[in-house]
Structure 1
Amino acid sequence: MDEIRFANAGDIKSQKAIWKHCFGDQDSYIDQYYSKKYRMEETLLLLKDGEISAMLTILPAKVVTPDNKSIASSILYAIATHPKHQNKGLASQLIDFTGHHLSLTNKSVSLLVPASKQLFEFYHKLGYTEAFYIREVLLSNAQILSIKIQDQCTCKIKPAIPQEYNQIRDNLLMGKLYVSYTDELTTYQKIISQESGADIYKIEHDDIQSCAVLERYTSDKVIIKELLCPDNHSDMIIKQLAHTFPAKEYILRTPAFSGERYGGRVRPFAMFKKHLDVGINSEIAFETLGYLGLAFD
């Protein structure tokens, strides 16, 4: 018999085992999540014959429209089924239940970031649509060094506290369709970045503020998970980030509407599903517009 409920205090050990099986993260990363971010009231579990078999987390967020209206939303995170119970429809059952729960709690939209290309089709069958495109570029250190900027053109890069990062981020994305994060979620991203040897940053040049999220994968590879800045500042900022965080190659992610001159590929980063009438102009198309950016992966 299947049961779906929110997590209880004694459920963490089983959840950690599922996380390890499904995502393969190191124990230190898993422990960090459960000590710094985990909330029982945000975690839904599916039990099969009394055994925790599938799980997902409902993270609070909001979608902000170009005319600055907010849509109450949730991000579905860490969706996982124990390997011995996979291919039995448990994840579909849990996601369907979650959608009903979100409707009852007045959450108009749910968002998720598929962990692989194959999962886009799986979530599509559950009513989700591709959205929130990003531009992703692989840049070598040599390519960044070759970027020409004006002499003495520099910026100040400083670690940001989550509240100021979100404020800068919201200002830069004003007039776009985008996902706005809570300070708690951005705090968790800061922890992830710091554990890798980087941080979340505010960037200042000529009284203009920009922001970036970095993680160091290895000594040779850095990912700029989010870079939001005026287009005429991006060359300078990328060069200074590369100088501050030396590596052989960099993965750069920007909104699809910026960074075109760097090439790369534009791809859907997330998917969405409406659970209630979102009450926004019909010409706003989630499928072709919007920016999400951070998946806390």
Structure 2
Amino acid sequence: MKKKDAVLKLWRECFDDSDQYVDMFFSEVYRDDDALLLEQDNRPISSMLLQRYAMNFHGVTVSVSYVCGAATTRKSRDQGCMSTLMREALRCSYDRGDMLCTLIPANDWLYHYYGHFCFSPVFYVDIERYTSAHTFRHEGVYTLYEALDTPEAYSFFREMMERRKCTVQHTEEQYHQILMDNSADAGIVTAIADCDSHPVAMAFAVPVDGEAVVKDVLSIDEDARSAVLEEVHKEFADMPVTVYGYYKSADGELRQRGMARIVNASQCLSIIAQAYPKMKLALRLTDPVITENNGIFLLSEGECRKVDNHEGKLDYDIDIEVLTSIVFGNDVTRHILDFPAVRPFISLMLD
């Protein structure tokens, strides 16, 4: 059996996705070299995909992986199959040059499970809830922008995404996959333009259990944001609207959105050292899966060095999960630990 056929077989057994979504995913998104497959007696029993993305991080674009489609046949569950694949995925992620491995747990209990592999819940969204009677008021005059499947639309999308700090980015190919994903979920992608017909806001929405869920909204300013949300409201008449907003502060209604794990500590700390050349730090790090991350790291004068011994005082003696929590912490972490923490963001991952 070909690898793609084996993964598809497991996918159909384990997930309740529509035929339209599965056909779209395996024709447009799936790649053999992203797939990890575990077999027993020439029979596929477990699989996952380790997809490739990029993220802006302290002024540098880094490679990150995204775990999805983790599936194990019913007869082979509770036998350590997924644990074996997850360790393989982390090793693969490191070997191909990723700095970070990310995922979005399908259920709340999986946050605890993935914590066993040193993933930390660092991705959050700011939940905005509006009743069906709400009016999104705006002052500007806008028109609908319908040319979503064009280079200009993607250029706007990319520019808005890149304005966000520490955000998982999407290539043009991945942008088109997002459009197809929304369509497969009976959703809409709505965009508006200014008086010169240039796009100024874009929203991705799907109906979920009687409400319109906006999975992300991109705009040049708050007025355009309100205007495009009003268009979403019109499309889903009589439905309340819930927006998964970009994380801005700790004042809103925050919800865990996903997890991350540093897979290359040296790369991560070197970028931070270069961005903050006055920073001095000594830490001992332990990693139960990726042995290259074990050791003492010294940050000073814009560089990060890994050493075998250090006679001076250590600022931290931590494992890779704690380092991930510190690096991708919020403003509280930044101030208490005096560390340049930055809260990451993830959206539109076809989940």
TM-score (norm 1): 0.83
Deviation at 1:118, TM superposition (A): 0.8
Cα deviations by residue, 1:75-118 (Å, 9 ceiling, x for unpaired): 11111111221122211110111111121211121111111111
> How much has 1:175 moved relative to structure 2?
5.3
The 5 A counterparts of 1:181-196 are 181-196=170-185
Q: 2:184 and 2:199 mapped to 1: Cα distance? A: 28
Aligned positions, number: 281
Listed as ranges, the matches of 1:168-247 within 5 Å are 168-172=156-160, 173-174=162-163, 176-205=165-194, 209-217=200-208, 220-229=210-219, 230-247=221-238
Point out where structure 1 has 5 or more consecutive residues left out of the alignment.
1-8
Residue identity opposite 1:37 in structure 2: V
Higher relative contact order (CA 8 A, sep 6+): 1
Q: CA deviation at 1:162?
A: 6.7
Which residue of the partner structure matches residue 54 of structure 2? 62
Percent identity over the alignment? 17
Farther off after superposition, 156-165 or 185-194: 156-165
Change (3 A) 1:216 1:92: same
Name the residue aligned to 1:94. Answer: 85
Q: Which residue of 2 aligns with 1:42?
A: 34
Larger Rg: 2
Deviations 1:8-65 (A, max 9, x none): x624444233223322123332222212222112111011232211111121111102
Q: What secondary structure, in the 3-state scheme, does the structure 2 residue paired with 1:72 have?
A: strand
Q: TM-score, normalised by structure 2?
A: 0.71
Residue 15 of structure 1 is matched in structure 2 by 7
Change (3 A) 1:208 1:190: closer
Q: Do structure 1's residue 111 and structure 2's residue 165 form an aligned pair?
A: no
Q: Please, which runs of 5 or more residues in structure 2 have no aligned partner?
A: 277-325, 331-342
Change (3 A) 1:96 1:17: same
Q: After superposition, what is the alpha-carbon deviation per residue over 1:215-268, rounded to whole angstroms, capped at 9, x for unaligned?
A: 3447x53321110222343222211221244342223111121897xx6x2122
Name the counterpart of 2:329: 287
- Superposition RMSD in Å: 2.7
Correspondence 1:257 to 2:248: yes
Q: 1:269 to 1:163 in 2, by over 3 A?
A: farther
Shift of 1:290: 1.7
Greater mean deviation of Cα atoms: 275-284 or 76-85: 275-284
Contact 2:203 2:232 in 1 (8 A): no
Give the direction of change, closer, same or farther, for the CA distance of 1:101–1:209 in structure 2 (3 Å limit).
same
Determine if the alignment matches structure 1 residue 77 to structure 2 residue 68.
Answer: yes
* Contact 1:65-1:175 within 8 A present in 2 as well: no
Residue 124 of structure 1 deviates from its aligned partner by 1.0
CA displacement, residues 151-187 of structure 1 (integer Å, 9 cap, x when unaligned): x744534342275444323322425111111222222
Q: In 1, are the aligned partners of 2:167 and 2:346 still within 8 Å (CA)?
A: yes
Give, in angstroms, the shift of residue 191 of structure 1. 0.7
- Are the equivalent residues in 2 in contact too, given 1:156–1:205 (CA < 8 A)? no
Evaluate the alpha carbon distance shift between residue 164 and residue 23 of structure 1 in structure 2; reply closer, same or farther with a 3 A threshold: farther
C-alpha displacement at 1:199, in angstroms? 4.0
Q: Which amino acid aligns with 1:213?
A: F
SS at match of 2:183: helix
* CA distance 1:189–1:258, change in 2 (3 Å): farther
